[in-house]
């Protein structure tokens, strides 16, 4: 009986610490991830974001992940209202494809920020230049929420046209 209570407490505790966790496995291939009802993603720019299914080609050999269109400035965004003073870890896996011979086209940024242009606060940012094409890279950004900046945006973006940005395991956990 004690083991069951301990397991229930662990599951409840982990659920309370997780703000969001999207690995795309439960979604249908071809589904537009910005049209999800619960935990909706947004996009900046005109790029579409759909679920790609390729057996074992997702992060950690998963089968599904989100893929951008090839328009200029593809950005996948999620917003969340967070607790002031609390520390969180945002993690996401990224893979660039269709880079070709121009490695700079694969440049991308993983960003945690709050506010709007002209009045923004940057919590953490990973700027990746000339990443290895077709290789997943996991990012983990730890930050503490400051007063007045509780509405936080989590995003991954790239600039170059014709390049595909793939995202998996888009996750936020409270420490």
Question: 64 or 12: which carries more pLDDT confidence?
Answer: 64
- For the segment 44-88, what is each residue's pLDDT rounded down to a tens digit? 888 999 999 999 999 999 999 999 999 999 999 999 999 999 999
Report how far residue 149's alpha carbon sits from residue 130's, in angstroms, rounded to the nearest whole number.
32
Give the count of domains, the chain. Answer: 1
Which CATH number goes with the domain that contains 58? 2.60.120.260
- Percentage of the chain modeled with pLDDT above 70: 88
Number of H helices, E strands in the chain: 1, 11
pLDDT grade, residue 38 (50/70/90)? low
pLDDT grade, residue 118 (50/70/90)? confident
pLDDT grade, residue 11 (50/70/90)? very low
Q: In the prediction, which pLDDT does 168 show?
A: 98
Domain that residue 134 falls in = 2-174
Distances (CA, A) of 12 to 6, 20, 87, 94: 10, 14, 19, 29
Q: What's the rounded mean pLDDT across residues 113-134?
A: 93
């Amino acid at each position: 009986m004690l083991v069951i209570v301990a397991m229930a407490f662990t599951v409840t505790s982990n659920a309370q610490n997780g703000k969001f966790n999207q690995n795309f496995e439960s979604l249908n291939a071809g589904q537009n991830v910005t049209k999800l009802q619960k935990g909706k993603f947004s996009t900046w720019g005109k790029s579409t974001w759909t679920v790609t299914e390729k057996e074992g080609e997702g992060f950690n050999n998963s089968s599904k992940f989100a893929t951008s269109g090839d328009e200029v400035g593809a950005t996948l965004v999620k917003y969340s209202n967070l607790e002031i003073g609390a520390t969180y870890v945002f993690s996401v896996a990224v893979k660039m494809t269709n880079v070709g011979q121009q490695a700079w086209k694969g440049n991308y940024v993983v960003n945690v920020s709050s506010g709007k242009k002209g009045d923004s606060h940057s919590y953490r940012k990973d700027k990746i230049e000339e990443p290895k094409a077709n290789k997943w890279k996991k990012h983990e950004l730890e930050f503490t929420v400051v007063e007045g900046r509780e509405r936080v945006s989590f995003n991954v973006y790239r600039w170059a046209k014709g390049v595909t940005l793939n995202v998996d395991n888009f996750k936020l956990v409270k420490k």
